Amino acid sequence: MRSWRYPRPCCCRTHPVAEEEVSPNVVAAALALLGRLQSEPPTVHIALAQVVEKEWSDLHASKLKESEASVRRADEKISYLWGIASTMNSAPAGSYVQFRSLRFPQRLHDVAEKIVRFARVIEGNEDFQRAVGLRIGAGAASAAPRRPEYGDCLLTEQYLDLCLRLRANGFTHPCVFVSSNTRDFGEPKAPRPPLDREFRSIQLDFAYDFAAAEALLES
């Protein structure tokens, strides 16, 4: 575990291609974290469960296409409204911005791709499988009765194990679990039991997004 001794780790669940609206604060935090990942030596580490890495691999291309289509539709609507305003001689002087030309869906994708590339991937094993079975059997978060949530339970066990090992080896810097999935994990200030006790016992913070995680890492 010596490679984890000095940098501050951030245990990350959030899918790198966000399905929620992306705020400027989250983008700025992602860029800041990426800079820290790329520094020599790095001043932060991001851990990804293998199931999260696979989710990225399976979905990133389609999410990029969806984002580009959304920007294209926005441009078309703006063009339509601009045409009406021009006909009525009420359009501002100069041309409006075509957001497609800014290529920010591709740029956001590239930031996420770099974060995944620099992340440390936690692979599964039989011990994790047994722990997941017990969590699902008990209906304990991130599972629930009649809702097994295998992937979420697997990454929960992996991140808990990682943080426990870090603490056992004398690591005292902040560790942050990042997820916008409040249905299965609860709210950052009130994780679903027994996650509240499990997080507290190993001093694992919980954040909704990268912006909140960055603030916790600096606290």
Class (C level, CATH) for 2-54+113-218 = alpha beta
Answer yes or no: is pLDDT of 210 > 50: yes
Task: Let me know how many helices (H) and strands (E) the chain has, helices first.
Answer: 8, 7
Answer yes or no: is pLDDT of 17 > 80: no
Mean pLDDT of 94-116: 90
Mean pLDDT of 21-37: 89
Answer yes or no: is pLDDT of 75 > 90: yes
Answer yes or no: is pLDDT of 16 > 70: no
The DSSP 8-state label assigned to residue 147 in this structure reads B
For residue 166 the two structure tokens come to 């870090």
Q: Give the separation between CA 24 and CA 210, rounded to whole angstroms.
A: 11
3-state secondary structure of 107: helix
Mean pLDDT of 96-116: 91
Answer yes or no: is pLDDT of 32 > 90: yes
Mean pLDDT for all residues in the chain: 88
Q: Give the separation between CA 183 and CA 147, rounded to whole angstroms.
A: 11
Furthest CA-CA distance within the chain: 70
